[in-house]
Structure formats: structure tokens, C-alpha cells
Amino acid sequence: MFVSSLIGFMISGIIVVLIIPLIRRISIAIGAVAVPNHRTMHSTIMPRLGGLAIFISFMSALSMMYPQIIPSLPAFWGLLVAAFMIEIVGVLDDVYTLSAKWKLLGQILAAMTVALSGYTVDQVHIPFAQDLYFPGWISIVLTVLWIVGLINALNWIDGLDGLATGIAGISCITLCIIAGLTGNMIVLVLSATLLGSLAGFYMFNSEPASIFMGESGSAFLGFVLAVISILGFKQAVFVSFIIPLLILGVPLLDTLLAMTRRGIQGRPLYEADRGHVHHRLTDIGVSRRSTVYTLYGISSFLGMCAIILTKASTSAITLVMLLLLLALLTLAGAELVGIFKGNRPLYQLLRKLRRVREEN
């Protein structure tokens, strides 16, 4: 499986690099482009079907390793159908801009397909406590919430060139390392193959980007990472309730804070806004490139904590939890800036400090 992981990484990476120019031309020809508005961070029209290239390269690489993968995935066809459902909804949104309710419906149906195929969150291990076991219908509900939540988390964090691509890539690297340590070979192969697609796509998506991944990319990435995490849940040593949350900590926390903010402000939870953590950092004067690297750093830190926890002693777990709290407070601090946005004192002070620095 180690050889299969390397092959999957190389094949998917090569394919995505080869087809991106074609996907970019198709995206422009059919009008699947991102137009700048008050929420976006880009100033020019950009093709946004890059996710289709990620999907094609990932699926093509897996198809070449079909005999090695099938024995480890009994309900492979259920996962395949769900993946195609997510990608079709994503492409339609990139071309026609679907309403939130239709996208959510597609996500729920795909997540239900995964759950009914037998891949569910039915057990988690919580440090310092007993394992939790969930009956059938509760495990299905948790699975749907996990998959739909992660799909939207990746979508909402995709606001700067290379940001979602890099964070997903860091998550894949973390999953590869943990899968290698725990002997979960199917997770290793899937993570490495997805990492190859992301590595190739990053060449076109890092600042200055020439193509965006769009909904077809962020939704698919969130779906695959969610499914890979569920596959990891099936092994007791990999099951810690904390580990999946750490690996995907940045997009998940940003999503939680965004929904909390919208709830406090009395707005729909899924209403798009310009209030995510990357917006907050740029609002206080951090450059776009520095913002991306900062969030990369936090994701890498959380990933290292997840790796440590797979083999950690009780004292190490305590240390990691304290470090985790520090990282979470850093992200939450960026969000607090948004609470004071507008004519409120803290935000005005930060803006004044920024102007003084620029003048000097």
C-alpha cells in the first residue's frame, strides 16, 4: 500500500497539471467564472471550475489502483455515487449559482448515501473518559452532520488564493502520517492521492491564482476529507474524538464562529458574508500572503498536535490540549475583531493603528 500511495500521489498530481489549462478554457467559455463583489478578495474575473480538475485527477488515479482499493472498501460504489453527487452539485453551482437550499439538499443526500453504505460515526474515544457508542439512527445523523459541516467549512475558508488548497493539503499530510503510524493503509492511499491532486492544483491556485477551485472543489475536498476521517474512526487507535477536529481545526472553527456570529446578529446561518477569519486578519492590516501563511502555520500546528495524540501519554495529552487552547484563542481573537467592526472602539483603534503605520 505504501507503493500504491506514492503511485496515487504522482498520477493524480500529473493529471491535474495536464488538464488545468483545458479546464480553465472550458470554465471561461461556459461562463463558470467568479465575478468580484463586496465579499470577495479578488479584483478580476476568474475561472472557477478548478475543482473539476481535482475531481478528475483524483478519480482517475484511484481507478488505476482499483484492484488494490476495492478489498478495503466493501461499499465502494456507494461512496463513488455520493462523490459524483457532490461534484455534480458543485459544478452546477459554479456554472449557474444554485441557491443555498439546493446545495444543502444535494449535500445531505450525498451524506445519507455514505451513511447508508455503512460508513458512519458510531464510536468515538474521548481522552480521560469512556468510549461513546451511538445507536444506528444517531450515528447516521452524526455522519450527515459531519460530512455536510466539513463540506461547508472548506467552502467558507476558500477566500484567498491558495488558502483552502493549502489547508486541505496540510490535512492530507497529517492524515498520511497518522495512517502510516496506525497502519490504516486505505486512509494512507486516499490521503496521498488527494494530496497529489492538491499539490498540482496549488501551482495554479497560489497567489497570484490563475484559477479558483469553486464549489466543485471546496465541496468535493470537504466530502473526501470527511469520508477519510470516518474511515479513520474505524480503528480504535485513530478514533480519538479530538484528532479529526485537530486535523481540520481551522475550517471547522471558522465555520463555528461564523454561524455563532450570524446567529447573534439575527441573520441566516448560511448567509454569505465578509466576516471569516481571513477577512478579519486582512481587515487589521495583515497582508493577504501573510494571512494565508498564518493560517497554514496554525493548521500545521494543529496537525502536529493530532500526530502527537495518536501515540501520546496522559501528560503529553494535557500539554497538547493546552497548546490547542492557545491556537483556538488566536483564531477566536481574529473573530472578535469582527464583533467590534464598524464604529465600535476596538475596530476603530485597530484601523487607526494601521493608518499610522502606513503613514510612517
Q: Where are the domains of the chain?
A: 2-359
SS3 letters for 234-283?
CCHHHCECHHHHHHCHHHHHHHHHHHHHHHHCCCCCCCCCCCCHHHHHHH
Find cell 460530512 and name the residue: 147
Phi, psi (rounded to 5 degrees) for 99:
-75, 160
- The pLDDT value given to residue 342: 42
For the record, the C-alpha cell of 310 comes out as 495518536
Find cell 474515544 and name the residue: 125
- The pLDDT value given to residue 147: 94
Helix axes 2-29, 185-205, angle to 10 degrees: 40
- The pLDDT value given to residue 132: 75
- The pLDDT value given to residue 345: 47
- The pLDDT value given to residue 1: 65
- Write the burial class of residue 168 (CB in 10 Å: 0-12 exposed, 13-18 middle, 19+ buried): buried
DSSP 125: B
- The pLDDT value given to residue 61: 94
Query: HSE (CB half, 13 Å, CA atoms) of 318?
Result: 3
Task: Mention every residue, 6+ apart, whose C-beta is less than 8 A from residue 103.
Answer: 89, 93, 215, 219
For the record, the C-alpha cell of 62 comes out as 484511484
Task: Mention every residue, 6+ apart, whose C-beta is less than 8 A from residue 360.
Answer: none
For the record, the C-alpha cell of 222 comes out as 470537504
- The pLDDT value given to residue 103: 95
Contact by Cβ (8 Å): 250, 295: yes
CA distance 32 to 42: 16
DSSP 160: S
* Per-residue model confidence as pLDDT tens for the chain (360 residues): 678 899 999 999 999 999 999 999 999 999 999 887 655 555 678 999 999 999 999 999 998 887 777 777 878 889 999 999 999 999 999 999 999 899 999 999 999 999 999 888 887 766 566 677 787 889 899 999 999 999 988 888 887 889 999 999 999 999 999 899 888 888 999 999 999 999 999 999 998 899 999 999 999 999 999 999 888 765 433 445 567 777 877 777 777 777 776 666 667 666 666 656 765 676 666 787 888 998 899 889 888 888 887 776 655 666 666 666 666 666 566 555 555 454 444 445 555 666 666 665
Closest residue by Cα to residue 190 from 338, 73, 16:
73
Contact by Cβ (8 Å): 251, 156: yes
Segment (H or E) for 193: helix 185-205
Task: Mention every residue, 6+ apart, whose C-beta is less than 8 A from residue 251.
Answer: 150, 153, 154, 156, 157, 164, 167, 222
Task: Mention every residue, 6+ apart, whose C-beta is less than 8 A from residue 130.
Answer: none
Closest residue by Cα to residue 88 from 75, 74, 101, 98:
98
**306 by DSSP, 3-state: which?**
helix
- The pLDDT value given to residue 210: 92
- The pLDDT value given to residue 116: 93
Contact by Cβ (8 Å): 190, 262: no
